[in-house]
Amino acid sequence: MFDLFIDFSVTLTGFSTFRLQGTGMAAPYFETVQKIIGPATLDELLLQYQAIVATANGDAATLDNLLRNTIFNDPKFGPVTRNIIKLWFVGTWYQLPKDWWGAYGTGEQGDSFVVSPAAYTEGLLWPTVGVTPAGAKAPGYDSWVNAPVFS
Amino acid sequence: MPKYSHVCRCQSDHARFAEKIYDVVIVGSGVSGAIIAKELSSQGKSVLILEAGPENIYTMNGYNKYIETFYGNINKDNNAPYPFNANAQSPSSLDVDKLTPGVPDTKGYFVQLGTLPLESTYTRVLGGTTLHWQATCLRMLPEDFKMQTLFGQGRDWPYDYETLNPYYNIAERELGVAADVDDQRYFDITFDPNYVFPMERIPVSYLDKMVAKHVDGMTITLESGEARSLLVRSIPQARNGVPNPNYDGGKGYVPVGALGTNQEEMGERCQGNGNCVPICPVQAKYDARKTLYKALQTGNTEIISQAVAHKIDIDPDSQRVTRIHYKSYQDPALPEYTEGTVQGRVFVLAANPIENAKLMLASGLNSSSDMVGRNLMDHPYIHAWGLMPEISGTMRGPQGTSGIEEIRSGQFRSQHAGFRIDIHNEGWGWATGSPTTDLLDLVDNQQQYGTDLRNGLVNNVSRQLLLAFMVEQLPDPNNRITIDPSYTDQIGNYRPVITYSLSDYSLAGMAYGRKLSKEIFAQIGVEDHTYYDPSSFGYLIYNGQEMIARGGNHFSGTHIMGSSSADSVVDRNQRSWDHDNLYLVGSGSLPSIATSNTTLTLAAMCYMSIEQILRDLQTA
């Protein structure tokens, strides 16, 4: 399931497996999602993703259509999927909507939280917009004077 | 390395502290307290500092814990790196809400009575609020010292710019200011012949240059009819850059790097972390620990940390201060403490304008003018934000490298407040929570993912422009901090009760700022995205202009300086009119806040006070 989580994350973020693994956050994120929504729900979501990838059979438009119809717009999978995107980009797990928790959650809902200090600094938002995280990975003196380069 | 034997919070030492009569007892280890401690202890005086907050940050590990806390904190506010301390609380912007008239808002450290909530913060740790300041070091304008004479508004200072000029020079050395004299010579600001700043100016950002391309030379007409030609100008800042070889008559300057390290250099140049507020991860930004370190090295300074001063004793005959009482705690979470007292020949309150006034009021010392705690000022800010016509590389570099200064001066100040404009390299963050909010919008509302999401982020973030208008406020005795026995913390110390509002003078300046932002945006071709949410705590309408007032963290005026004991708390040397061995130092003494960030000026004022303290000690 972990490999499937990575594949799903590649689709969601637009970053390669190599880049995602390079953050060192893949396992902590997988475990975070699994712990909060439960392994069964996560497996169900990942298997749904696997199924639509198979159906799309390499056709990007079909995959996009299936993703939107059966995952993003699905009341159970949509909020979790959006949360996985946010995890990768800013390292924060956002509290799921109350309706979602009422229908599918178990135990204490918990608050929003940053997965770890490294989750913040490894956020993909920063390289996406051609910068380093505020307060980490110093780009160096004078680095701000020329036009940006995007990754 | 610092002499740790001089930093003590051991319970067993309280008896020793109580017996000794120090030359100078200082409350607070922020920039004012640190400068005074360093100068006096260098001259052989014995100095004791009482610091309410924790001190364990001389080592790289200690400082880095703050950075880790910041990374892991879901909120990235001004106090995000500094753990909550129930026994020496700091105000938090996260506690600020819209006020209901007549209902005190008590959920934060401040009790807010209104009419407007004061959003500003400070930090109670060793080194004080310089841990989270942005390090902007603008001098005040000569006209700022004569507000009443020139504009019929506010108060005059007991002295003029020329008097403070030599002390500005000393402060710029201690804080390590990087700037170009030619950039800073405007509106009659003068420098000594051949003066240069310790370091060359911090390079201006690509974003600044994109703005300057359109704005430099833009002509505007103020509402008073005065004309101005705008110029994007570099900001003087206490941030390490390239040393100026011509400094100090050719002796040069060595930047003060990170503390607690004996490895290779660190912190001797800004690294563009874009995180000056709330903490510089490489310590290239000045903070008062750098000065405290030098004070400790003299062997004449001792610091008791986790010691909250709560009462000043006065001799009823001489009206001189005899001792200060403090509560010493071991655990910031637990309401357990030991009482202690300290004695000195001179006492200096350097605990910031709110805590200084609180300590005076808690001791029944309202001053003969009844001005203690009154005239509370800040710099209200309004923001205007939009998207640049092309990619501008926003979110890189220190948070501010350029601004527009032309509306700081003019005859219009007899009618409305002046202001300065900061170009924020970090984009819309302060106003909207960007870039996280951009991500949330694209993901939650626009169902973006993958490459489209990445392109959307680049397009939304890298073109951001935020102009922040820092507006002056006049001293008003009704804006004040008071105390009330109903509001105390868990060890029985008062919480500040804040009564705050903005006068028409400031509001008119803010409204003009918003109007000017539209002219500037039109000139550049910026797509205006400014939105003032009516549910925001600072939402206002003035003369039909919507805006949101934000706090500037520049508390001032609560022990105002003046020429007479009848209407001020301290004299020109920041010495109490009523108690001649008591000094109240810092921005609480400012008779006008004008349009300069307060730290450089308050640091300069401390050097004036030091000369008088030395005279006092000689005659005592």
**Does B31 fall in a domain?**
yes
Please check whether residue B135 lies inside any domain of the structure: yes
ipTM reported for the complex, 2 dp: 0.97
For residue B56, is pLDDT > 70? no
- Report the distance separating Cα B124 and Cα B112, nearest Å: 19
Beta-carbon-side half-sphere exposure of residue B261 (alpha carbons within 13 Å): 18
Residue B278 preceded by cis peptide, ω within 30: yes
Q: Give yes or no for a contact between B239 and B282, defined as CB atoms under 8 angstroms apart.
A: no
| Buried residues in B8-18 as b, exposed as e (16+ CB within 10 A) | bbeeeebeebe
Residue pLDDT, tens place only, A49-77: 999 999 999 999 999 999 999 999 999 99
- Contact across the interface for B273 and A134, Cβ inside 8 Å: yes
Contact (CB<8Å) A114/B274: no
Indicate the number of domains in chain A: 1
Residue found under tokens 């918990």? A110
Q: What is the CATH number of the domain that holds B259?
A: 3.50.50.60
Residue B284 resides in a domain: yes
Structural domain that includes position A31: 2-124
Output the six-digit token pair for A151: 């990754």
B100 in a structural domain: yes
Phi/psi region, residue B240 (left: phi>0; alpha: psi -120 to 50; beta: rest), is: beta
Q: Are strands B400-404 and B419-424 parallel, antiparallel or unpaired?
A: antiparallel
Do B382 and B188 meet the contact criterion of CB atoms below 8 Å apart? no
Q: For residue B387, is pLDDT > 80? A: yes
Distance from CA of A12 to the nearest CA of B (A): 5
Total count of domains within chain B: 1
Beta bridge partners of B546: B541
Mean pLDDT score across all residues of chain B: 95
Token pair belonging to A91: 């390292």
Residue B459, in any domain of the structure: no
Distance CA B301, CA B35 (A): 12
Contact residues, chain B, for A150 at CB < 8 Å: 458, 462
Judged on CB neighbours under 10 Å (0-12, 13-18, 19+), A99 is exposed
Q: Which structure tokens are listed for B65?
A: 């814990």
Is A135 within 8 Å of B450 when comparing Cβ atoms? no
Residue bearing tokens 């020109």: B572
Q: In this predicted structure, what is the pLDDT of residue B58?
A: 66
Are A20 and A31 in contact by the 8 Å Cβ rule? The answer is no
Q: Which domain holds residue B597?
A: 4-201+236-380+473-502+549-619
Q: Are β-strands B47-50 and B21-27 bridged in parallel, bridged antiparallel, or unpaired? A: parallel
CB A143 within 8 A of CB B205: no
Q: Which residues pair with B313 in a beta bridge?
A: B323
The predicted-structure confidence for B516-563, as pLDDT tens digits, reads as follows: 999 999 999 999 999 999 999 999 999 999 999 999 999 999 999 999
Please report whether residue B422 resides in a domain.
no
Amino acid type, B357? A
With respect to residue A70, please indicate whether it lies within any of the assigned structural domains: yes
CA nearest to B171, candidates B126, B135, B123, B121:
B135
- Does residue B5 register a pLDDT over 50? no
User: Mapping DSSP to helix (H, G, I), strand (E, B) and coil, where does residue B403 land?
Assistant: strand
Q: Report if residue A150 sits inside a domain.
A: no
Q: Residue B449 and residue A85: Cβ atoms within 8 Å? A: yes
Residue B274: other Cβ atoms inside 10 A: 26
* Residues in chain A closer than 8 A to B279 (CB atoms): 135
Rounded mean pLDDT, B455-483: 97
Whether residue A9 lies inside any domain: the answer is yes
B490-503 per-position pLDDT tens digit: 999 999 999 999 99
DSSP letters spanning B390-450: S----S-SSSEEEEE-TTSSSGGGGTS--EEEEEETTTTHHHH-TTHHHHHIIIIIT---H
Q: Does residue B206 fall inside a structural domain?
A: no
CB–CB contact B393 A121 (8 Å): no
Query: What is the Cα–Cα distance from B554 to B121, expressed in whole angstroms?
Result: 9
Mean pLDDT value of segment B477-494: 98
